[in-house]
Structure 1
Amino acid sequence: MASIRALVSLSFGGAVGFMFLMLGCVYYNYWPLFLLIFYALSPIPYCISQRMVDDMDTPSNACKELAIFFTTGLVVSAFALPTILARARVIPWASYALLLTSNIVIFLTILGFFFIFGSEDDFS
């Protein structure tokens, strides 16, 4: 029952994050939809490193640290894109605030997914 509650709360968080993203596009400008690329790419390096390395519990692992580095780069890029669009006056500042809220909610949802479902491995 706890995993069902976690799954429902994570899906609710994702829906709220995407709602803020769509509200950020309400000014007839759909450039912020490029954030979907960052949302889709951000968990991929960690998932690949999790499959490549047998023991993920070691404190220092080069593959794991490289995956965290790439993931951090994608997350920082996702926060930088709305800033660049707002500074170039492609999107208004109200849309910028909605996009930052969307980034925070979506990335916390992705982080929550890895905390909740990352430790269980049914296929090992």
Structure 2
Amino acid sequence: MAVKGLVLLALAGSAALTFLMLACVLPQFGVYWPLFVLMFYFLAPIPILIARKLGGDADSTSTACKELAVFFTTGIVVSAFGLPVILAHAQIILWGACAFVLAGNIIAFLTILGFFMYFTQDSDYEFQRW
């Protein structure tokens, strides 16, 4: 089962990056500004990982550190969806490229969520109990 999960996560990550690259390299789009979304992909899991490292007792369901980490992660995810919309509204990228980036964002962040659900044994948050 572990190999199937890893293969599925790798496939989903590849699909997300494919959508992001299509938003940049297709001739009708031709600009590479959407690649700045990669920064959000790398930043998104960092607050949760830090909170798990610094978290107090494992028995408490909610600590201030974990809640702050979820807040920062939410801000990073919302920013990743907002950046291409703002770039398209300012006519720096086309709306078609924005759609590709948003599709890639959905897949990428679901992949990150799947990674945390798959490789985490403790279920501290409600969204990890699906």
Using structure 2 for the length normalisation, give the TM-score: 0.88
Which residues in structure 2 correspond to 1:35-50 (within 5 Å)? 35-50=37-52
Q: What residue ranges of structure 1 are gaps of 5+ in the alignment?
A: none
Looking at structure 2, the residues matched to 90 and 65 of structure 1 have their Cα atoms a distance apart, in angstroms, of: 35
Which amino acid is 1:12 matched to? L
1:54 positional shift:
4.0
Looking at structure 2, the residues matched to 40 and 57 of structure 1 have their Cα atoms a distance apart, in angstroms, of: 29
1:56 positional shift:
4.0
Task: Give the 3 Å change call, closer, same or farther, for CA 57–95 of structure 1 in structure 2.
Answer: farther
1:55 positional shift:
3.0
Using structure 1 for the length normalisation, give the TM-score: 0.92
Match of 2:83 in 1: 81
Looking at structure 2, the residues matched to 23 and 58 of structure 1 have their Cα atoms a distance apart, in angstroms, of: 44
Looking at structure 1, the residues matched to 95 and 116 of structure 2 have their Cα atoms a distance apart, in angstroms, of: 32
Contact preservation (8 Å) 1:50, 1:56: no
1:29 pairs, out of 18, 31, 54, with 31
Aligned residues: 119
Which amino acid is 2:75 matched to? G
Match of 1:109 in 2: 111
Match of 1:6 in 2: 5
Looking at structure 2, the residues matched to 48 and 57 of structure 1 have their Cα atoms a distance apart, in angstroms, of: 18
CA RMSD of aligned residues (A): 1.2
Match of 2:128 in 1: none
1:57 positional shift:
4.7
Do structure 1's residue 71 and structure 2's residue 73 form an aligned pair? yes
Which amino acid is 1:91 matched to? I
Task: Give the 3 Å change call, closer, same or farther, for CA 43–9 of structure 1 in structure 2.
Answer: same
